[in-house]
Amino acid sequence: MEGTVSDVIEVVDAKDLVRVYGEGDTAVHALRGVGVRIEPGQLTAVMGPSGSGKSTLMHILAGLDRPTSGSVKIDGIEITTLGDDALTKLRRQHIGFIFQFFNLLPMLTARDNILLPLTIAGAKPDPEFFDELVSRVGLADRLEHRPAELSGGQQQRVAIARALVSRPTVVFADEPTGNLDSRTSGEILTLMRSSVEEYGQTTVMVTHDAKAAAMADRVLYLADGEIVKETGRSNQHEILQIIDTLDLQ
Ligand SMILES: Nc1ncnc2c1ncn2[C@@H]1O[C@H](COP(=O)(O)OP(=O)(O)OP(=O)(O)O)[C@@H](O)[C@H]1O
């Protein structure tokens, strides 16, 4: 039967991911057989010590890098075998990005930065959703400012709105609070949590921040290229214990 609950497709379904950088004696095994399934509407945090493979995993799941072997499906589409053009198109349609250093275009206003994914895709914004999004991220009176005229927190809000504006299948965030003070980090995390609650936005976030992980529905812990542990929502005590064990900070 088609369309039954059992047909629900994972937003992200990755199997047996291996990523080796370099060759021979100098080869680095960044991922050693990682499998991840992400269900819709969840905030997943990925934690682990420096060099454990978090960014490598995120880049491969997001189609920014290719695995040495293994499979990644986004919304049921196998992306590891797509050609470059098809992969670029898939990223535009299905994926939003939030980076540690914001990655805004300096010559564009906040408005044009937010609209960029739609502009590139030749799509028109839904004016109602745009207004709602801009007010949710608190930028209604900053839309005509350029990034240099905005604080770090405001720049990250622009980046969040840019990631959400096309209603992507999944948002990947790489240490979104890594370059912000603790108060601003808290505001940004609250905003990311609310995009999960309000818009059902599936989000995967690499983070070193225990507060960020405590807001997640699920936390995956990587060590030396493997997933070594997984915990559920807001189990701060357990998260802190694991951070201690893995010597993350
Ligand atoms: N382009 C590359 N060439 C060679 N080795 C690489 C490359 N990118 C990453 N690595 C290596 O792969 C391993 C995993 O790196 P990765 O950046 O994924 O770790 P991470 O957990 O994100 O670290 P951090 O928390 O410090 O950002 C590391 O040993 C790293 O040095």
CATH number of the domain encompassing residue 239: 3.40.50.300
Asked, for residue 46, whether it belongs to a domain, the answer is yes
Ligand 1 within 6 A of 50 CB?
A: yes
Counted domains in the chain: 1
Residue 53 Cβ inside 6 Å of ligand 1? The answer reads: yes
Look at residue 227 and tell me if it is in a domain.
yes
SS (H, E, C) 167-200: CCCEEEEECCCCCCCHHHHHHHHHHHHHHHHHHC
Residues, the chain, total? 249
Query: Structure pTM?
Result: 0.89
User: Does residue 5 fall inside a structural domain?
Assistant: no
**pLDDT, tens digit, for every residue of 16-37?**
999 999 999 999 999 999 999 9
Nearest CA to ligand 1 atom 16: 53
The fraction of the chain above a pLDDT of 90, given in percent, is 71
Q: Kindly give the residue spans of alpha helices, DSSP state H, lying in the chain.
A: 54-61, 84-94, 110-121, 127-136, 152-164, 182-199, 210-214, 236-246
Confidence of residue 2 (pLDDT cuts 50, 70, 90): very low
For ligand 1, whether the C-beta of 6 sits within 6 Å is no
How far from each other are the two terminal CA atoms of the chain, in whole angstroms?
50
In 3D space, the residue among 113, 178, 167 whose CA is nearest the CA of residue 142 turns out to be 113
State the complex-level ipTM: 0.97
Let me know if residue 29 belongs to a domain: no
**Contact, 165 vs 130, CB < 8 A?**
yes
| Nearest-CA residue for atom 1 of ligand 1 | 21
Residue 226 inside a domain? The answer is yes
Host domain of residue 166: 39-67+81-246
Does ligand 1 have an atom closer than 6 angstroms to the CB of 137? Answer: no
12 inside domain: no
Exposed / middle / buried, residue 114 (Cβ in 10 Å: 0-12, 13-18, 19+): buried
pLDDT per position as a tens digit, 89-141? 999 889 999 998 889 999 999 999 999 999 988 888 899 999 999 998 999 99
Verify whether ligand 1 is closer than 6 Å to residue 51 (CB atom): yes
7-11, 52-56, 148-152, 216-220: which has the minimum mean pLDDT? 7-11
Is 26 within the bounds of a domain? no
